[in-house]
Amino acid sequence: MKTWEKYNKVTRIMVPDENLVRFVQKTFPDFKKRKKIKILDAGFASGRHLVYLAKQGFDVRGFDYSNESLKFAKNWLKKEKLAIEVKQADILKLPYKDNSFDVFIEIGMVEHFFSGDREKAISEAFRVLKPGGRLFFIVKKTGDYLEGAGKKLEKGTYLINESFIKDTPYHFFDKKELKALLKNFKELDLNYTILTRNNTIVEIHDWIAIAKK
Ligand SMILES: C[S@@+](CC[C@H](N)C(=O)[O-])C[C@H]1O[C@@H](n2cnc3c(N)ncnc32)[C@H](O)[C@@H]1O
């Protein structure tokens, strides 16, 4: 929790994730129909996807459990004159009804959870999605430069110290376990990105999973 308060105090990512931009454009090309699409952004941090998706015409809301995140995002939404419902909530026990959302977005949160909580978080996402609703999920992939770069805490999970996120568990998913985690979903579209930095010395590997309830 302390990690996330610090993170949300200094890390202000203000532009949307390009994979999410592509996903919404491809899945919901008709701007006029978007106001009927109910999206939940899990762990919104700065609120970058709340702002982006609202401006793109969607009915979006979100939650985060960090005070700093709530403070920053509420302020930003106010400046943008966007009336969006934001809640302080834990993904492990969500204050939303079953079958409520057309899209559930989870980017970069569940990769910090231990086994058991990863499954709980995904079952909450499944519960609040409408039948036919879509999960958009980004997590770390095996092969990432940070894998193994800290004390091993569990199988595939290491205590990592990196620039933004200090002393935090990171789990690196392989394909088999990611498929097992998402086994209750159908039409799984599983892809990954590899970004290189520092003349390709650093490789950042992420899964991008899209699936339907
Ligand atoms: C790496 S940031 C995610 C960034 C954000 N999804 C984005 O794309 O900009 C992780 C966020 O998840 C939040 N978080 C971590 N554990 C959580 C939990 N159990 N329930 C709700 N929010 C949580 C943190 O406060 C933090 O804002």
Q: Which atom of ligand 1 is nearest to the CA of 46?
A: 9
> What is the fold, at CATH topology level, of the domain defined by 2-212?
Rossmann fold (3.40.50)
Query: Which of 50, 48, 57, 47 is CA-nearest to residue 25?
Result: 57
**126 touches ligand 1 (CB under 6 Å):** no
Average pLDDT over residues 86-114: 98
Ligand 1 centroid distance, CA of 93 (Å): 14
Task: Choose which residue among 1, 4, 49, 124 to substitute to test ligand 1 binding: the one with the highest number of ligand atoms within 8 A of its C-beta.
Answer: 4
Q: Ramachandran region of residue 187, left (φ > 0), alpha (ψ -120 to 50) or beta? A: left
Instruction: Give the tens place of pLDDT for each residue, 59-98.
Output: 999 999 999 999 999 999 999 999 999 999 999 999 999 9
β partners of residue 168: 160
Residue of the CA atom closest to atom 4 of ligand 1: 45
Ligand 1 centroid distance, CA of 191 (Å): 22
Q: Which atom of ligand 1 is nearest to the CA of 68?
A: 25
CA distance 180 to 197: 31
Tokens 């999973």 appear where? 209
Identify the three-state secondary structure at position 162: coil
Q: Which atom of ligand 1 is nearest to the CA of 8?
A: 27
CA distance 213 to 186: 6
**91 touches ligand 1 (CB under 6 Å):** yes
pLDDT value for 49: 98
Task: Choose which residue among 15, 64, 68 to substitute to test ligand 1 binding: the one with the highest number of ligand atoms within 8 A of its C-beta.
Answer: 64
Q: Domain locations in the chain?
A: 2-212
Task: Choose which residue among 7, 24, 65, 87 to substitute to test ligand 1 binding: the one with the highest number of ligand atoms within 8 A of its C-beta.
Answer: 65
12 pLDDT band, cuts 50/70/90, is confident
Ligand 1 centroid distance, CA of 32 (Å): 30
- Cβ atoms of 9 and 39 closer than 8 Å: no
- Cβ atoms of 48 and 72 closer than 8 Å: no
**Cβ neighbours of residue 139 closer than 8 Å, sequence gap 6 or more:** 108, 110, 111, 171, 173, 178, 206, 207, 209
Residue of the CA atom closest to atom 27 of ligand 1: 45
Instruction: Give the tens place of pLDDT for each residue, 134-190.
Output: 999 999 999 999 998 899 999 999 998 876 777 789 999 999 999 999 999 999 999
